[in-house]
């Protein structure tokens, strides 16, 4: 074997992939994932500062914020449906074609959100159309994550599988970073311009990024694992049925592990913007900048944590992050209550980069290693998206509800973060370490 080539696994029958192709798949996975999440997080960023006023006008600001967060939460319950539909295609036809479809759906819905007329213009049709487009986004992102992850993992060398699996996870933070920066730049406009057209610019501009992502993905070949499964005839007739028949324990583990990764993340990155600007004294730009810094730090930490998992294992890295988030739940809100920009930044960096990054870095790789190739797309997607629906989309809405119910006290939200950690640690504790396991 030449030095430019590396076997993905120790199995001698495994297709041999050049380092160039592996790097190309890794880059394509990262770019596509970043674009998808950029589109998705744009909505989360503007939900509580723009859409509550333009699409859900109310005499009570808290009601407007909660209605905006309802539309933020809805797609999380659509995501499992999108996951079932597109993971079926991904396990039957291939990862590549599925990723092209999901990116097209996601991008088209995002651009249309940027062009929507407001409640003042068309009345109740404005929130109806907004909700419809958000559901389409949910369908697209529901099938996107698993495909982007498998594109990286199924091209990876065995000893670097943790690193390769962490790179698509960087797309979450890079996409959010791009979305936050875009809104921060547009926030420099006078308020009347920002509210009338400035917030729309990043949504419409995303069309350029979508075309770039489609061009990159169309140049890729199918993953070696899927090729091998197809050539051997090991393709499930109905992947969803086989997943729940033979891998139901793995699905439950994936759902449980996802809870601490997704619920606290949306509190640290999305809810915090509404919390600090509505219930504390911070201005919108300060809150956005703090999340930007925290997200940038997390982006740098994710591949480092992925590489660390190749050395010490997936479970130790995951459990460290989960316990850290539980321990930091109460100090986090105390630091925010100090009304200091410095401590707001410190709290956000610690939460996202030090404790959340290790969890998300190993999540995808760990999921990939507990499902067989013929149902892997379905298994990782269903587990991930059900967990996201249960704990992710509801997190900002639940946090807002808890604040209003308990006289603006953050203690119930901290308890929620601790409970999320307990659930995920139990789920991961019952699994065997997968670092040295053959992928196929």
- Top mean pLDDT of 23-37, 195-209, 250-264, 372-386 is at 250-264
The reported pLDDT for the residue numbered 6 is 42
- Tell whether 145 is covered by a domain: yes
Cβ atoms 134, 179 nearer than 8 A: no
Q: Which residue has the higher pLDDT, 17 or 128?
A: 128
- Tell whether 214 is covered by a domain: yes
Q: Which residue has the higher pLDDT, 158 or 249?
A: 249
C-alpha closest to that of 219 among 27, 36, 35: 27
Considering the chain, what is the average pLDDT of its residues? 85
Q: Which residue has the higher pLDDT, 240 or 77?
A: 240
- Tell whether 313 is covered by a domain: yes
Chain CA centroid to CA 203, Å: 18
Tell me the pLDDT tens digit for each residue of 253-311. Answer: 999 999 999 999 989 988 898 899 888 889 878 998 898 899 999 999 999 999 999 99
Q: In whole angstroms, how far apart are CA 26 and each of 2, 76, 210, 311?
A: 21, 26, 18, 20
Chain CA centroid to CA 129, Å: 24
The pTM of the full predicted model, rounded to 2 decimals, is 0.82
- Tell whether 256 is covered by a domain: yes
Full DSSP string of 359-380: HHHHHHHHHHTTS-GGGHHHHH
The mean pLDDT of 35-41, rounded to a whole number, is: 78
Strand partners, 17: 6
First vs last C-alpha separation in the chain:
21
What confidence category does residue 8 fall into, taking pLDDT thresholds of 50, 70 and 90? very low
Q: Which residue has the higher pLDDT, 17 or 293?
A: 293
Say how many C-beta atoms besides its own lie within 10 A of residue 334's C-beta. 12
Helices of type H across 47-94: 52-54, 61-92
Q: Indicate which CATH number applies to the domain containing 33.
A: 1.20.1250.20
Q: Which residue has the higher pLDDT, 202 or 59?
A: 202
Beta-carbon contacts of residue 297 (< 8 Å; ≥ 6 apart): 349, 352, 353
- Tell whether 51 is covered by a domain: yes
Full DSSP string of 287-315: HHHHHHHHHHHHHHHHHHHHHHHHHH-HH
Domain with 397, as residue range(s), is 17-218+226-429
The reported pLDDT for the residue numbered 431 is 87
C-alpha closest to that of 301 among 289, 317, 314, 322: 317
- Top mean pLDDT of 107-121, 172-186, 233-247, 381-395 is at 107-121
The reported pLDDT for the residue numbered 343 is 96
Q: Which residue has the higher pLDDT, 192 or 422?
A: 422
At 350, phi and psi to the nearest 5? -60, -45
What confidence category does residue 159 fall into, taking pLDDT thresholds of 50, 70 and 90? confident
Cβ atoms 364, 165 nearer than 8 A: yes
The reported pLDDT for the residue numbered 50 is 80
The reported pLDDT for the residue numbered 12 is 47
- Tell whether 435 is covered by a domain: no
Compute the CA torsion angle 54, 55, 59, 62 (nearest 10 deg): -100
- Residue 115, judged by CB atoms within 10 A of its CB (0-12, 13-18, 19+), counts as exposed
Residue recorded with tokens 């600001």: 61
Describe the chain by its helix, strand, coil percentages, rounded to 5.
80, 0, 20
- Top mean pLDDT of 11-15, 53-57, 221-225, 369-373 is at 369-373
Domain tally for the chain?
Answer: 1
Cβ atoms 147, 102 nearer than 8 A: yes
Say how many C-beta atoms besides its own lie within 10 A of residue 11's C-beta. 13
Compute the CA torsion angle 62, 64, 139, 395 (nearest 10 deg): 0
- Tell whether 2 is covered by a domain: no
- Tell whether 409 is covered by a domain: yes
What confidence category does residue 215 fall into, taking pLDDT thresholds of 50, 70 and 90? confident
**Phi and psi based region of residue 344 (left: phi greater than 0; alpha: psi -120 to 50; beta: remaining):** alpha
What confidence category does residue 65 fall into, taking pLDDT thresholds of 50, 70 and 90? low
Q: Does 1 have pLDDT greater than 50? A: no
Instruction: Determine which helix (DSSP H) or strand (DSSP E) holds 7, and give its type and residue range.
Output: strand 5-7
The reported pLDDT for the residue numbered 260 is 95
Cβ atoms 239, 378 nearer than 8 A: yes
Beta-carbon contacts of residue 10 (< 8 Å; ≥ 6 apart): 158, 438
Task: Report the chain's C-alpha Rg in angstroms.
Answer: 21
Tell me the pLDDT tens digit for each residue of 87-142. Answer: 888 888 877 788 888 888 888 998 999 999 988 888 888 888 888 898 898 888 88
Tokens for 242, please give them: 């086989």
The reported pLDDT for the residue numbered 10 is 45
């Amino acid at each position: 074997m030449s030095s430019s080539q590396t076997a993905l696994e120790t199995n001698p029958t495994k297709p041999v992939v050049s380092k160039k192709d592996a790097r190309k798949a890794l880059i394509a996975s990262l770019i596509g994932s970043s674009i998808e999440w950029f589109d998705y997080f744009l909505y989360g960023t503007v939900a509580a500062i723009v859409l509550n006023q333009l699409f859900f006008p109310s005499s009570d600001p808290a009601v407007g914020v909660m209605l905006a967060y309802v539309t933020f939460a809805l797609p999380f319950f659509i995501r499992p449906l999108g996951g079932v539909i597109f993971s079926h295609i991904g396990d039957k036809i291939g990862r590549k074609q599925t990723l092209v479809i999901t990116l097209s759906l996601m991008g088209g819905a995002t651009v249309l959100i940027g062009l929507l007329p407001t409640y003042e213009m068309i009345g109740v049709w404005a929130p109806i159309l907004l909700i419809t487009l958000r559901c389409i986004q949910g369908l697209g992102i529901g099938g996107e994550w698993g495909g982007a992850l498998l594109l990286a993992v199924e091209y990876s060398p065995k000893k670097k599988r943790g690193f390769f699996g962490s790179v698509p996870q960087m797309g979450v933070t890079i996409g959010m970073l791009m979305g936050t920066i875009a809104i921060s730049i547009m926030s420099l406009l006078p308020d009347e311009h920002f509210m009338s057209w400035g917030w729309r610019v990043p949504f419409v501009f995303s069309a350029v990024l979508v075309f770039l992502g489609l061009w990159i993905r169309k140049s890729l070949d199918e993953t070696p694992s899927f090729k091998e499964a197809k050539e051997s005839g090991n393709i499930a007739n109905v992947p969803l049925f086989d997943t729940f028949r033979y891998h139901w324990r793995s699905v439950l583990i994936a759902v449980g592990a996802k809870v601490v990764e997704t619920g606290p993340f949306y509190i640290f990155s999305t809810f915090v913007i509404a919390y600090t600007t509505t219930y504390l004294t911070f201005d919108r730009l300060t809150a956005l900048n703090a999340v930007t810094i925290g997200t940038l730090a997390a982006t740098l930490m994710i591949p480092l944590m992925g590489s660390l998992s190749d050395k010490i294992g997936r479970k130790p890295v995951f459990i460290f992050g989960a316990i850290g988030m539980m321990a930091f739940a109460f100090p986090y809100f105390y630091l925010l209550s100090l009304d200091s920009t410095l401590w707001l930044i410190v709290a956000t960096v610690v939460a996202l980069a030090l404790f959340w990054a290790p969890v998300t870095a190993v999540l995808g790789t760990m999921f990939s290693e507990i499902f067989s190739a013929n149902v892997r797309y379905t298994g990782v997607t269903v587990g991930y998206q059900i967990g996201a629906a249960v704990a992710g989309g509801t997190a900002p809405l639940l946090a807002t509800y808890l604040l209003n119910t308990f006289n603006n006290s953050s203690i119930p939200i901290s308890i929620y973060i601790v409970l999320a950690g307990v659930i995920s640690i139990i789920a991961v504790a019952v699994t065997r370490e997968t670092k040295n396991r053959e992928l196929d």
